[in-house]
Structure 1
């Protein structure tokens, strides 16, 4: 699977992660299938933001409402790993229940895109950076 994302959008997501290097930052990925065209920052409401993330439910519900009203499709989300790589962590695997959603993970100076293929299992997605 291949998904397009602009270098400017990827830079904005990287900048978000750089603003809070000791915490997992998170946000929503928006667009159409095959094309991430937007990202919306979301508060990490996890009680342990240094090593886990939980997207603010209000941000998630707002994106779903906007999609239903004809706005961009919610494709997935992004989050950072301040002390780990760009691969899904054990906790990420346990949380991965949203089949078909994209996860963009940033860590160790790189980012990788993943698809939840089935609950608890990710597949690599090739990101085409434009």
Structure 2
């Protein structure tokens, strides 16, 4: 079963990634049966050219809103400006085995992954996009 994601969400993620390059861009994914919306968050990593860290204030605000009946946070997205759209070793080390979706963009390539205990790419299983 694939993950629904709209072309508008894909365009927003690709545009944000291109604008941030050569730094990594990142943000949150919202939805229920698929990715219905994405937001762009500040990358507050100590080395944003090689890593990403979603601004904790943005993440906390989104989770508080979700608990109050707002949009559900289903995952995260980030870019690999000089790599490919597969999880890196750093991504695998950072990922909690919580089932959240990770979308990774590298140029025009965009892939989705579910964080879990095991998978072909460290802690991730590939999710087909529809």
State the TM-score, normalizing by the size of structure 2: 0.93
Provide the rounded CA distance (Å) in 2 between the counterparts of 1:45 and 1:17: 15
Residues 67-86 of structure 1 correspond to what in structure 2 (within 5 A)?
Answer: 67-86=66-85
Moved over 6 A (4+): none
Match of 1:65 in 2: 64
Provide the rounded CA distance (Å) in 1 between the counterparts of 2:77 and 2:9: 12
Unpaired stretches in structure 1, ≥5 consecutive residues: none
Query: SS of the residue aligned with 2:99?
Result: coil
Provide the rounded CA distance (Å) in 1 between the counterparts of 2:100 and 2:19: 25
Unpaired stretches in structure 2, ≥5 consecutive residues: none
Q: Residues 108 and 10 from structure 1, CA distance in 2 versus in 1: closer, same or farther, beyond 3 angstroms?
A: closer
Q: CA deviation at 1:113?
A: 0.2
Query: SS of the residue aligned with 1:61?
Result: helix
Task: Tell me, yes or no, if structure 1 residue 5 matches structure 2 residue 14.
Answer: no
Query: SS of the residue aligned with 1:87?
Result: coil
Q: CA deviation at 1:75?
A: 0.3
Match of 1:124 in 2: 126
Match of 2:29 in 1: 29
State the TM-score, normalizing by the size of structure 1: 0.93
Q: Is contact 2:66–2:73 with CA below 8 Å preserved after alignment?
A: yes
Q: CA deviation at 1:98?
A: 4.4
Q: CA deviation at 1:23?
A: 0.5
Match of 1:14 in 2: 14
Query: SS of the residue aligned with 2:8?
Result: helix
The structure with the largest strand share of the pair is 1
Query: SS of the residue aligned with 2:129?
Result: strand
